[in-house]
Structure 1
């Protein structure tokens, strides 16, 4: 299938008054403590991250009964409205016994954050391992790529993934002008988005790709590569926070499994703590291969 092109623009001018401003660390505390206190709405267009976290939690609690087909446009549009406020010869990476033991502990987790330095062997090993739902079982892959080109990630799959792959869809958020040549992958659906700030569009396309596979006998696996690139490209931490909050819920509702790449060295500590707090399952790793479950 030839790559499709989807382009929309979404610009947001955020203004914060001093009385409504809350630090990222304040938000992280409130998310971890699962506070149910309603945030007082501001007369201005934007709200602080702290009150935003309260708002999306209340919205999620009110819609726990949602079983609508995620492929329906109006359902998805409403759900993703919260974002706007209104991606040979090599050998496969291997994991040691300790790593395998940790991965067994998180076997039932639907959303896993892998936190550590980007572009190292440990990161690629974890990614390839998490893409394999079960040994030898077929998987349907959905790749959300920011900054990394489809050809780069698809080449990685060709070289390192040992499980049989039944189907692949790519949502490609292009953050540079260089044209990516992926003619050799012409049988793969590639949706291109040229505006990295268009988080609502990114969310709808990702949700559609997962929802389209709900009737498949294979496990659907989503790889988000990466949160750090999305934060830097979108240049709006509040909207990226909203985006991830909705996306985690969509993964749960479609029965998919997902893992998200995140490099803490690229962000201030309070930003790291805020985004980490969205996840119940966090794998912390380093370049030497050390792995721990937070």
Structure 2
């Protein structure tokens, strides 16, 4: 895998559906880049914003300067309704946005862009993109490919180290191969 200090890297994490390896890899990168200087963007298709923020707070040795969660689809356990609003913790470091429709890839892209616009003071960020398998349930491979092409380019421009999780056993080889070409590196986890 690329050195943690090399910025603008998009990594495809091929792991079984129930694995938490993408979060573990993100934690390793945040720790390597300096947790006090590295904000975290977390796109989730399965967890509530509250749960993702709690996970980051629990796993990092030093609190990051900012955590932004974009929860896509109807997630459970959030204290806020899925109304697309943004909320911030008492200190302003933790934000969450919900996007009801997983097919709203434009909305997802806007949320990412707005987050990086707010984070212009930081040189780099770590991004976790949850289960791409869920996104592929709502859109054709070609649509997801185009969306990911734009998103990975945006993250490269923002000097982010991004981890995208895909369960390869849930897709045919052609789908995995098509998406694979969008990434700078890949990690395959066998369990």
- TM-score normalized with structure 1 length: 0.55
Larger radius of gyration: 1
Alpha-carbon distance between aligned partners in 2 of 1:116 and 1:273, rounded to the nearest angstrom: 15
The 1:121/1:207 distance shift into structure 2, 3 A limit, reads: closer
Q: Which residue of 2 aligns with 1:108?
A: 6
User: Does residue 1:191 correspond to 2:90, yes or no?
Assistant: no
Q: Helix, strand or coil for the counterpart of 2:162?
A: strand
Per the alignment, residue 267 of structure 1 pairs with: 171
Q: Compared with structure 1, are the counterparts of its residues 103 and 231 closer, same or farther at alpha carbon in structure 2 (3 Å cutoff)?
A: same
1: CA distance between counterparts of 2:129 and 2:59? 17
Query: Which residue of structure 1 lines up, in the alignment, with residue 119 of structure 2?
Result: 213
Structure-1 separation of matches of 2:34 and 2:111: 28
Distance 1:126-1:118 versus aligned 2 partners, 3 A rule:
farther
Matched residue, 1:149: 48
CA 107–118 in structure 1, closer or farther in 2 if over 3 Å, else same: farther
Question: Higher relative contact order by CA 8 Å / sep ≥ 6: 1 or 2?
Answer: 2
Runs of 4+ residues over 3 Å off in structure 1: 121-124
User: Per-residue deviation at 1:182?
Assistant: 6.2
More strand by share: 2
- Alignment partner of 1:156: what SS? helix
After superposition, the Cα gap between the structure-2 partners of 1:271 and 1:136, relative to the gap in structure 1 and judged at 3 Å, is closer
Instruction: Report if aligned partners of 1:149, 1:174 keep a CA contact under 8 Å in 2.
Output: no
Q: Deviations over 1:177-208 (max 9, x none)?
A: x452269x850321111111111111111121
Counterpart CA distance in 2 for 1:266 and 1:169 is 28
Gaps of 5+ in 1: 1-101, 288-294
- Give the structure 1 partner of residue 143 of structure 2: 239
Q: Is the 8 A contact 1:113 1:260 kept in 2?
A: yes
- Number of residue pairs matched by the alignment: 181
Q: How far off is 1:257 after superposition?
A: 2.1
Cα distance between partner residues in 1 of 2:64 and 2:36: 9
